[in-house]
Copies of this chain bind each other. A is one copy, B any other.
């Protein structure tokens, strides 16, 4: 089952069910008004949405309409929690290597995770509005899961069953802001502006054998200004799977239904796989040639992030965003 939110109908959008080919959709408001409401009562709502999705995929639903991806908000237009890991430790190791800094060995066993801003996610085709190119604008292609209610102190194994939906995202990052911000010691704030999500979130069942219960065994394709930038496989070199990431997030707290947990930038050790963010490519350039040559994003630049099934079908639809200049109020 694939779910999305139309921008209409309020701050949380309007829940729709989307067909497997991302061509048609149908309003699901009779079942649950919003995705947040659906996930809060998934045991009851989930099966009813699944029935509707089956009928839609069979072409048997009156009132279905052609899907316009630009009419979509993020599947959760806003969320109560966004916990983003950094689960491809090979990426962290590379970044450190370029800086000439040793990575603590504990990074291989204790996940890195930061609390992200979740109050205003942006849609897959929304512009990336920022005031200053000098901030070092970058994209980050990631995988995320959306959970139902998770008890505090849960095990990684038990955490798996709380994964209700899977999607991909662009964790927009301001590299030149992050340097100074992390030095202050309190983590990211300005350096992580609004995060963008794919048009649809899907149930794990939709992923077939590419999903093993805690990771997604398919390449994530990033395209920068029309040229392929990377296609790392999201299951390769993944140090912590989503069971482990959820358990990590829940160590000292409950996670409310609708919590979004991210993987961090998808990265493979093999340089032939390319990168899911400009920062990593610059690190690889620095290691290879002594200095970075790919600049960060400028106003007008465009990034596309997408994932395809073995049948060639786009699973989540494409994140396709242009960076534009934002003028602050006077």
A187 touching B115 in the complex, CB below 8 Å, given contacts A79-B80, A80-B80, A256-B11? yes
Residues of B within 8 A of A83 (CB): 189
Q: State whether B184 touches A186 (Cβ < 8 A).
A: no
Per-residue 0/1 for A108-131: is the Cβ within 8 Å of any B Cβ (1 yes, 0 no)? 001011111111100000000111
- With A129-B152, A177-B252, A252-B174 known as contacts, the answer to whether A259 contacts B329 (CB < 8 A) is no
Q: Is the CB of B252 within 8 A of A114?
A: no
Chain B residue contacts of A56, Cβ below 8 A? none
Which of A177, A187, A326 is the most central at the interface, judged by chain B CB atoms within 10 Å of its CB?
A: A187
CA distance A82 to B185 in the complex (A): 18
> B78 and A186: CB pair below 8 A?
no
Determine whether A219 belongs to the interface, using a CB cutoff of 8 Å to chain B: no
Best-buried of A135, A182, A254 by chain B (most CB within 10 Å): A254
Q: Does A328 contact B (CB under 8 A)?
A: yes
Contact: A78 with B256, CB < 8 Å? yes
With A and B bound together, what is the CA distance between A219 and B236 in angstroms?
55
Residue of B nearest to A80 (CB): B119
Please tell me if the beta carbons of B253 and A117 are within 8 angstroms of each other in the complex: yes
**For the complex, is A45 an interface residue (Cβ under 8 Å from B)?**
no
A189, B153: Cβ atoms closer than 8 Å: no
Copy tally for this chain in the complex stands at 2
CB distance from A83 to the nearest CB of B (A): 7
A86 surroundings in chain B (CB, below 8 A):
186
Residues of B within 8 A of A254 (CB): 119-120, 194
Mask: chain A, 246-263; 1 = CB below 8 Å from B; 0 = not: 000101111110110000
User: Once bound together, how far apart are the Cα atoms of A249 and B194, in whole Å?
Assistant: 12
Beta-carbon contact of A114 and B256 below 8 Å:
no
Chain B positions within 8 Å of A120 at CB level? 80, 253-256
Partner of A326, one of B40, B152, B186, B189: B152
- Find chain B residues with CB under 8 A from A252 CB: 130-131, 135, 174, 177, 190-191, 193
Q: Which of A118, A131, A326 has the most CB of B within 10 A?
A: A118
Min CB distance, A170 to chain B, in Å?
Answer: 15
Known contacts A158-B329, A190-B252, A252-B135, A117 near B11 by CB under 8 Å: no
Extra contacts besides A115-B116, A119-B258 (17): CB < 8 Å: A81-B117, A81-B119, A83-B189, A86-B186, A114-B115, A114-B187, A115-B189, A117-B253, A118-B118, A152-B326, A155-B329, A186-B188, A187-B187, A187-B188, A190-B251, A190-B252, A191-B252
